[in-house]
Amino acid sequence: MNDVSAATPVQIHTAAPLWRVRYLLFIAGMGGLLYGIDIGIIAGALPYLEATATASWHLTSQQLGFVVAAVLLGSVLSSLFAGVVADLIGRRGAMLLAGVLFTASIPIMALAAGYLPLLLGRLLQGVSGGLIGVVVPLYLAEVLSPERRGRGAAMFQLLLTVGLLLAALIGLYHAHAVDAASAAVQHLSGEEQGRLLFDVKDHAWRTIFWSCLLPGLVFTGGVLALSESPRWLVRRGRIAQARTTLQRTVAAAQVEATLQQMQATDVHAGTAHERDRLLSRRHVWPFLLACVILACTQATGINSVLAYAVNILNQAGLPGAVANGADVAIKLLNAVMTVVALVLVDRKGRKFLLMLGSGGITVALVAAGLLFLQAERGRVDVQQSLQQQVTGDALALRLDAAQWQRLGVADTTQPQQLTVSYAYGGFSNVRSLRSDAPGAAELSIRREDAVQADSVIGAFFRRLHLNPFPDPATAAQAPLRIERASLGPVPSPAHGWAVAVCILVFVAFFAVGPGVCVWLALSELMPTRIRSNGMSIALLINQFVSTVIAAIFLPTVGHYGYASMFFFWAGCTVVYFLVAAFFLPETRGKSLEQIEAHFR
């Protein structure tokens, strides 16, 4: 083996500056924390954002879906250029940029007075998350010694799940505050009660975003005290700075030997002119296998379940604060089972854990889908009744006891749930109301709640007669069409807890299997010569699938119910299990060269 990088790794001596290494791991862990907050913080804020923004800004369900998915979209965009940015300004510079973008996104979202600032703030969070997800593991690999790289990756993954848990705890705290405020204003008149509840909920989602500012400041300030990657410095001929950096993380007796190894590797890479194509015959199979694994990981619906957990559990029958408490339990279990996965992954192997995880996920998703199917079967179709009550181009119904009875409710003392899917031309929207929710005494449907202003992209494609988007000019004259309206009793709390158990099982199996193994399988399957480009494309596919699922979640469950979404995820997970069982080789205990030889 002629590759210099395959030389015997430098051993760590007791003289190594451990406190600097621990500080580095702490800051890297804070990067994972921010990445977890990026994904999870919207779950607690979404119910209050939906309750206030739809009334004050006329946000549609599609726009709310875009706000949720914007983090994933920003992550997709930044992951494409993260490697280039890290090469241009350094690994430390790229991490600093990520911290600045995350910190700047907080006041933009918390002070938002409309859809665009909120969307921009979420996009900036996503761009920051994409940079962190690529650059922090890259920095750890280049700075830490071989014996500590696994610990660094574990710290990043573990703190990511802690970030999800922290976001859930913040949401739970504000859920209790909103419930307390709701109880305190029960004696007031309907108009005054609605106004105060609006103010409380508006303050809740803004404060949830403000609470993320401190971790962003800690990470950004902490990066300033880090050194640049010595390997990046060597590639640019800054040998003296690289030596200084190594003295902070490597024992003094090993600094020169490590530096010489880096220089030799750099010279070897500079003289290697052979470049294998990404889709050459010997590379295409492991590349496609890695892409399928990453796509299936997101097609299980994990990010949407974590982001919409409170909404899902509310629809399943759990009241607000209880749903937030279950959401905290989900995030806590995710963190605990990640630790279990880190213990098992080198004992049981990647293939076994991926099969175990995908099999358990399938069972949990099917069970949740059946529970929702049972609840949704009991609903009646009231589409024609609502269509007949449309006046002009709008619908305004006072949902008092008499109105519920006209819609077919026999027992008005039992909480009811009304879900309406409507459209103006090509623009559609979904409204869902519970009779026991404070302030939900009226169903109001207006054109401005669904029809969005024309966009530059839409106008451009319309001129080419290739536009797949609806035309606002046509929708401005189109009548209100009630496409689907279902009415039924709110599921019992026992039903809600049954769905919560299914989601807990789902998250547990995901953490043990795909949650940890997918990244190891990705890096191990890719041959050395295509690893950087291949991983970028596979990660892009991963994030694209996650973004699409998050964007269509609210419209899909509004039109077709929650059962349809859970069954779709279950079908994708069956494909995942079959791929892991029949096509994925076991990589535990094998060198990268042995794995590459297996595919040849």
Residue 229, sorted as left (phi over 0), alpha (psi -120 to 50) or beta, turns out to be: beta
Q: At what angle do helices 146-184 and 18-56 cross, to 10 degrees?
A: 30
Q: Which of 122-126, 174-178, 469-473, 515-519 has the highest mean pLDDT?
A: 122-126
363 pLDDT band, cuts 50/70/90, is: very high
Does residue 121 or residue 554 have the better pLDDT?
A: 121
Phi, psi of 586, rounded to the nearest 5 degrees: -75, 125
Cα 247–Cα 249–Cα 255 angle in degrees, nearest 5: 45
pTM for the model? 0.67
Q: What is the DSSP letter of 226?
A: S
Give the dihedral of Cα atoms 177, 180, 184, 188; nearest 10 deg: 70
pLDDT for 504: 93
Instruction: Give domain 15-226's CATH architecture.
Output: Up-down Bundle (1.20)
Range with the poorest average pLDDT among 55-64, 128-137, 223-232, 320-329:
55-64
Q: Give the separation between CA 44 and CA 172, rounded to whole angstroms.
A: 7
Q: Where are the beta strands (DSSP E) in 440-503?
A: 442-445, 480-489
Tell me the DSSP string of 384-446: HHHHHT-BTTBEEEE-SHHHHHHTT-S-TTS-EEEEEEEEETTEEEEEEEETTSTT--EEEE-
Phi, psi of 349, rounded to the nearest 5 degrees: 95, 160
Token pair in block for residue 384: 């024609």
pLDDT in tens, 408-419: 776 666 777 788
Q: Give the separation between CA 234 and CA 151, rounded to whole angstroms.
A: 25
Distances (CA, A) of 394 to 388, 454, 479, 561: 11, 21, 9, 24
pLDDT for 483: 80
Cα 459–Cα 71–Cα 128 angle in degrees, nearest 5: 115
Does residue 253 or residue 577 have the better pLDDT?
A: 577
pLDDT for 142: 73
What residue type is 333 in one-letter code? L
Q: Are 537 and 382 in contact (CB under 8 A)?
A: no
Q: At what angle do helices 514-525 and 146-184 cross, to 10 degrees?
A: 150
Sign of CA dihedral 132, 134, 137, 139: negative
Residues 6+ apart with CB under 8 A from 416: 404, 409, 434, 435, 487, 488, 489, 490
Could you state, in order of their start, the residue ranges of all structural domains in the chain?
A: 15-226, 228-270, 393-488
In this predicted structure, the answer to whether residue 13 has a pLDDT above a threshold of 60 is no
Cα 259–Cα 260–Cα 265 angle in degrees, nearest 5: 100
Q: Which of 87-101, 137-151, 526-540 has the highest mean pLDDT?
A: 87-101
Q: Are 40 and 167 in contact (CB under 8 A)?
A: yes
Q: Give the separation between CA 266 and CA 14, rounded to whole angstroms.
A: 28
Tell me the DSSP string of 62-106: HHHHHHHHHHHHHHHHHHHHHHHHHHHHHHHHHHHHHHHHHHHHH
Cα 162–Cα 166–Cα 171 angle in degrees, nearest 5: 150
Element (H, E) at 380: strand 380-381
432 pLDDT band, cuts 50/70/90, is: confident
pLDDT for 331: 79
Token pair in block for residue 584: 């994925």
Percent of the chain with pLDDT over 90: 12
Q: Are 383 and 427 in contact (CB under 8 A)?
A: no
* Exposure string over 585-600, b if 16+ CB within 10 A, otherwise e: bebeeeebeebbeeee
In this predicted structure, the answer to whether residue 124 has a pLDDT above a threshold of 80 is yes
Cα 358–Cα 361–Cα 363 angle in degrees, nearest 5: 115
271 pLDDT band, cuts 50/70/90, is: very low
10 pLDDT band, cuts 50/70/90, is: very low
